[in-house]
Amino acid sequence: MTNSQSGKFTRRNALMRGAGLGAGVLALPALLDACGGSGASSGSTGSTAAATPKNGGNLALGLVGAGNAETLSPLGATYLPDYTRIPALFDPLVALADDGSVIPALAESWTPNKDGTVWEIKLRKDVTFHDGSPLTADDVIWTVQRMSLPTSVGAPFTANIRVKELKKADPHTVIWPLYLANARPLDDFVGANPNCYIFKNGLKDFSNPIGTGPWKFESFTPGQRSVFARNDNYWGAKPHPAKFTLVTSFQDETSLGNAVLGGQLHGASGFSATEFRSLKAAGNVTTYSVAGSQDLTFYMRADRSPFTDVRVRQAMRLIMDRQQIVDVVMDGQGIVLNDLYGKGLPLYADGIPQRTPDIEQAKSLLKAAGQENLQVTLTVGDIWGGMTAAAQLYAQQAKAAGVTINVKKILPSDVFNPATGYPYTFSETDWPLSSLAYQYGESLAENAPFNETAQASNTAWQKMYVAAQGTLDPSLQQERWNAVQKSLWDSGGYIFYGRPNTLAAASPHVKGVKTDTFLGGVVGPQTPVNGLWID
Amino acid sequence: MTDLTGTTAIELAVEPAPHRRLHPVAGFLGWRLLGGALTWLFASILIFVATELLPGNVITVVLGRNARPEAVAALREQLGLNQALVPRYLDWLKGFVTGDWGFSSASLATGNPENVKHIVATYGANTLTLAAIAMLILIPLSLFLGTLAAGRRGWTDHTIVLGSLIAISLPEFVVGTLLIVVFFTVLNLLPPVSLVPPGTSALSNPRILVLPVLTLLLTNMAWSTRLVRSGTRAELSSDYVRFADLLGFPRRRLVWRLALRNGLPVSVQAFALIAQYMLGGIVLTEAVFTYPGLGTALVNAVIERDIPVVQAIAMVLAALYIVINILADLIVLLLVPRLRTTL
């Protein structure tokens, strides 16, 4: 049962870290109009512009679940259901807005010292926890301390923070000292990342999760469902429904889709292109195809033959027809990427031209490298439903350049398993959208825990990268980040090829669905829920 | 007069009256219970070893990409995975029999400890409800249809046999999906998904039980019906039945009171097997209807390498299987007095 569109391993999709795109809506005041609702929307009318929200009701949404691994603790959040529940109960320091920019959330402002090694973070003064107590610097400090524990999933995001020297200047100001200068110290704490949400000082037991978020805890059974109630004292835009139930007892998308069709759920998300088609055909639900939140990529280890030669890496990138993969594997529901992570996020180098396939150039590069008729093994596990299909299509495309790619299938649970060889010489993976700092810190930086392309040993690039991170001047900052990315684009080991749309379906009575923003859809990474209402 | 169960009065008279001996059935029960307990213990060792042999551990499986070496090392310590196998097994066994079933490892790894007992109780209650309802319908219906088929050759027999043949050939999930298509997609009469909110009983919304029960009936009844049928038919052609027939017993009595009753032992074992299957094996049916039962919980726990949960569910199922076996043998014993004399 390794088909991950249905069956047990669909939970691995949840490992796509959902589109943790951040709590932009939390920080935006009042109501959001649906901005015309076109773009990726499909199905019957998804337009909700100028509609008046109705309060009340119990909004019941569903996702394929992750069993007992589901959690309400930011310190252990790993699966898509977690990405939806944690932003409901808690708040982050900063959030991603609809357009992808980083905006204040719990943190109102943050200012650096001269060289960007110590920051002063000012918190909002009007925030209270669900138990009535006010948010103070102590809560933030406690959260970061807990995050830095080795058992915490969020520990890497505190790696550059001198955690022991965190202190409060006053009840609403945190002094945030760093090891290395960083112009954007809160990028790892953006709401896209569920592991960085702020919880109450002293909280260790998340069976009673006290947060500051738009929803209050009522009940939670992992692998089954959670029920939250609206927080009427919320500092931001209050949700409309009185209750929000997230049902995650589904093992596969077929029963998830049936539940929406049968009216047992108001909506659900995370469908494959195939299931999406049949939901569309059913006619009694509104389907949404919105901008996705995970970047799919192949990776080549630059420290292993044959990828030690940059010409081979370049050739492998030139062979790929990304558009064809999007069209075939994602049914056209997705965007093409340019071998770089984070298209559309702050600091992304969108001036670099989109790479297109060039078989002749690839062949000559391989010849120059002495690797004509190259044979490589591509190790693939279906942590996202179409990964094997994408690999097989890539292998087909490679034949035109004389390259033989042998696709070797492994279990999804082995994709990140060091015991079976992760990081593999040539493999495929996905990266949830969060911030450039997030992905670079996890995989490209010198002490990155997931050194998938052996970029850590590229000392020249590491220097460039550290310098870019520490550049406080905004225009110089973008220039340096552009150079950092150009270098990766020229000679790096990632082959980012596509970002699949998030496919969702909902009852026509569900309104307020945003379809052409960074944070759209029905349910998934947090945000969508907060703007929805039941007609 | 001949005792119609095959033991003659003369035989009974010759048997010495037992003095100061344990009633044979009680003795039988005693031995079987002891054997059952030993089997249970042996099963616990097997289950433990089997789960341990699975590659991977709960931390790397559950945390996936988040399973950094430091996190794995720290959590291994916390979850006691660094302990040697035998001490770990003994610790667990001690906890289990004293009622402390521990916490789900997967939930511990992600920071939200869930009590294993609570997990098993929730899923178990749902499974018991579904199995009980299905068996309550299946047993009488199989007995009725099987005997009907055995007693009347001709069209009744052929229809029942053919029907059961078709039902047997369809896999569980195909039957379930077909039922959804008919009763939901086409007729819109019943819900396609059988969600049971935690903390509520499956019976509080009986409509969600209809399709799963129907699926279980269709896929299992075929088999038990055929066994009842063949058992009853075999009895019908035996000597004492022929003799009774010659003596003028009405046909109906021959079939329903003699042949059926005496052909039962095999069917009892079949019902027992079906009951056991419904308790732990109906994973596909549960998946098709998203019914939160033990099979689903067990499979999920195995995938997550959540050993405490796997152990607990497996032990509960093993205990139920053993008890059902003993019960089945007991019933057969009560049905066939001849067996009691050989105890």
Q: What is the ipTM of this complex?
A: 0.83
A413: chain B residues, CB-CB within 8 Å = 56, 60-61, 64, 303
- B296 to chain A, any CB pair closer than 8 A? The answer is yes
Contact A262 B192 (CB under 8 A): yes
Alpha-carbon distance of A19 to A497, in angstroms, equals: 17
Residues pairing with A170 in the sheet: A173
Contact A78 B289 (CB under 8 A): no
Q: Is the pLDDT of residue B117 over 90?
A: yes
Q: What percent of chain A has pLDDT over 90?
A: 76
Contact B61 A413 (CB under 8 A): yes
Summarize the confidence of residues A483-502 as an average pLDDT: 96
Chain B: give the shortest CA distance to residue A529, in Å.
21
Q: Is the pLDDT of residue A278 over 90?
A: yes
Q: What is the pLDDT of residue B18?
A: 54
In the block, which residue shows the tokens 């709590």?
A: A23
Among partner residues B71, B106, B290, which is closest to A251 by beta-carbon distance? Answer: B290
Q: How far is CA B234 from CA A345, B184, B248, B294, in A?
A: 77, 42, 20, 37
Q: What is the pLDDT of residue A27?
A: 30
Order of strands, edge to edge, in the sheet holding A294-300? A334-336, A494-500, A294-300, A426-432, A375-380, A404-409
Q: How far is CA A251 from CA A4, A87, A484, B98, in A?
A: 10, 23, 42, 33
User: For the whole model, what pTM was predicted?
Assistant: 0.86
Q: Is the pLDDT of residue B126 over 70?
A: yes
Q: What is the pLDDT of residue A44?
A: 41
| Chain B: residue whose CA lies nearest to A250 | B290
CB A263 within 8 A of CB A271: no
B192: chain A residues, CB-CB within 8 Å = 255, 258-259, 261-262, 264
Contact A449 B306 (CB under 8 A): no
Least confident among A367-376, A474-483, B13-22, B110-119? B13-22
B55: chain A residues, CB-CB within 8 Å = 419
- A279 to chain B, any CB pair closer than 8 A? The answer is no
Summarize the confidence of residues B169-180 as an average pLDDT: 92
Chain B: give the shortest CA distance to residue A414, in Å.
8
Q: Is the pLDDT of residue A24 over 60?
A: no
In the block, which residue shows the tokens 């995938």?
A: B303
Compute the mean pLDDT over every residue in chain B, rounded to the nearest whole number. 86
Interface test with A, best of B76, B108, B110 (most A CBs within 10 A): B110
Would you list the DSSP string of A348-379?
A: --TTSPPP---HHHHHHHHHHTT-TT-EEEEE
B301: chain A residues, CB-CB within 8 Å = 67-68
- State the count of interchain CB pairs (< 8 A) between A and B: 148
- B309 to chain A, any CB pair closer than 8 A? The answer is yes
